[in-house]
Amino acid sequence: MARWQLVLLFGLVLSASLHRVASEEAADADVDVEDAPASGEAEDEDYADTERAHLIVRKWFKEDQAVQGRNLTVNLEVYNAGNAAASDVKLTDSKAPEGFTIADGLTDASFAKIDVGSKVQHSYVLSVATATDMQAFEPARVSYAADADGEQQLTVSTVAYVEVLTPTQQLQNHLLTGGKYVSLGMLRTGRDWITASALLAVLAALLGGNSAYKSVTTARTNVRRKKALASLEKDE
By CB under 6 A, name the binding residues for ligand NAG.
70-71, 103-104, 125, 127
Report which of 198, 205, 204, 203 is spatially closest to residue 224, judged by C-alpha positions: 198
**Which residues, other chains included, contact 125 with Cβ-Cβ below 8 Å and sequence gap of 6+?**
71, 72, 73, 74, 102, 103, 104, 105
What DSSP string runs through 21-75? HHHHHHHHHHHGGG-PPPP-HHHHHHTTTS----EEEEEEESSSEEETTSEEEEE
What DSSP string runs through 60-117? EESSSEEETTSEEEEEEEEEE-SSS-EEEEEEEPPPPPTTEEEEES-SEEEEEEE-TT
- Cβ closer to ligand NAG: 103 or 203? 103
Least CB distance to ligand NAG at residue 7 (A): 32
- Cβ closer to ligand NAG: 63 or 108? 63
Least CB distance to ligand NAG at residue 125 (A): 5
- Cβ closer to ligand NAG: 71 or 107? 71
Least CB distance to ligand NAG at residue 126 (A): 9
Least CB distance to ligand NAG at residue 31 (A): 28
- Cβ closer to ligand NAG: 174 or 188? 174
What residues pair up with 188 in beta bridges, in sequence order?
Answer: none
Task: Report which residue's Cβ sits closest to ligand NAG.
Answer: 104
Least CB distance to ligand NAG at residue 100 (A): 12
- Cβ closer to ligand NAG: 103 or 186? 103
Least CB distance to ligand NAG at residue 142 (A): 24
- Cβ closer to ligand NAG: 104 or 133? 104
The Cα–Cα gap between 202 and 130 comes to: 35
Q: How do strand 133-137 and strand 119-128 relate by DSSP bridges?
A: unpaired
